[in-house]
Chain A
């Protein structure tokens, strides 16, 4: 076949994601059953051993994250980040639409591991249908008795990309403006309403049941050794199959484009590919023969991020695309810290000038200086990542910029 490996999406469209019974019939809730017979520390050890790393973009060890939660705190929370806002990303929506019960089971296992009784799913405001689906799924799981005394509540965001940042997300659940907090303290110690909180991405939680059911060794043996498991990718742009796929993490980016994606539309040549959404780096064709896992992507100056794969063909105006991305960050900056608020504003201003043919070489140099400042001085990942698509397009496609300068 095409080399896809489906774990989270194995029963896509074969089971009703809202029904716990359907999921149980295909082996669901066995991981939770197993976890109930284990000590919390053993569950965390198992997750550590699986080498599962966060699927939201930062790639932090999930077991490690769970282990930071102090054992004796009286109240703790499990929070699921379903605020996927990276343009071109819809994998968390797909996971919910195809296998929502796995997410609930993963959260329940995390709750056992850290000693929480309550979980929240923060769903982006763009997905009202997923809020309904999840509420039905939770009700079905409760009726089936599988969650026991663990309670899950769904909260809906209202259109703010920055709420994908875990502390901004927490602020938003608390009913406030979604502005990121200073770290430390990290949420594991001081999170939702000031108590220890684990925040993980949908895909991360959805991996947990399979790790518990089939064992950490099994999971660790799939894909890239340092970032094992599978990754759900979403393909957009000038590609023949603009859809979603689940692949082992050692899958090559070139195969994503030419095998799964069916190649570039109209038989044209590849200009660049951006992996990880709008905050990701643009990758030139000479670098696509790289495995998609976190570390391999880092080695070529890119990031796996959310797993969005945005393909541009040779006819595309990359300066125009980068300008559009600069506008995205200017719009989504929350305004809390100066480097990001002013930085994204000035960045967009200069990019507009260049894109309109009124920019100078000085603008280009200023963009690169500003880019360094933002990466170093911004409070959260938004401002730190905002200049990356622009910097990488200047790096790899400088001649495209030069052509537009005055």
Chain B
């Protein structure tokens, strides 16, 4: 077993404004913020659960829904849009057999849309967890995802 929710959250307890840092730490462990972890965070930071939930759902990188081991984010901002993000997205959906916002049945991949990730030197861009993949094309999808399978 890994660390308990409280063990993950506690190091940020005395950090001013540490709730978001604690959420990052939880996501590094689970890729989402489990409901019980959110409740634990509210208790530790002495704020209502509704407030903690409000913060967790404000930011697009945080999720209160279970997600896969790898989160694939497709940038659809204007520069990636004109560079063909739409086709790449279609190819990703087809290859993974899921729609945006869904997770593959084996729990490996979650597909999300995102806005500009600031890697516009070679677009379109996807990110897979912390990795940035540049100049993505529909044909390259199988080769790119192979590394994570």
Contacts and interface: CB of A to CB of B under 8 A. Distances in A.
Contacts of B118: 84-85, 89-90, 93, 124, 126-127
Contacts of A157: 20, 59
Nearest to B52: A175
B115 A172 contact: no
B120 interface: yes
Interface of B (DSSP majority class) = loop
Interface residues of B, number: 34
Interface centre among B17, B21, B127 (most CB of A within 10 A): B17
A135 B49 CA distance: 32
B23 interface: yes
B23 A88 contact: no
B116 A176 contact: no
A324 B76 contact: yes
B78 interface: yes
A278 B79 CA distance: 9
Interface in B98-128: 114-123, 127
A237 B59 contact: no
Contact of A178 (B23, B59, B130): B59
A325 B78 contact: yes
A310 B83 CA distance: 12
Interface in A274-331: 274, 278, 308, 310, 312, 316, 321, 324-325, 327-328, 331
Interface of B: 16-21, 23-24, 45, 54-55, 58-62, 76-79, 81-82, 114-123, 127, 130
Given A161-B115, A176-B17, 7 more contacts: A87-B79, A128-B130, A158-B20, A175-B16, A175-B19, A327-B76, A334-B58
Interface of A: 84-90, 93, 124-129, 155-161, 172-179, 193, 234, 236-238, 242-244, 274, 278, 308, 310, 312, 316, 321, 324-325, 327-328, 331-332, 334
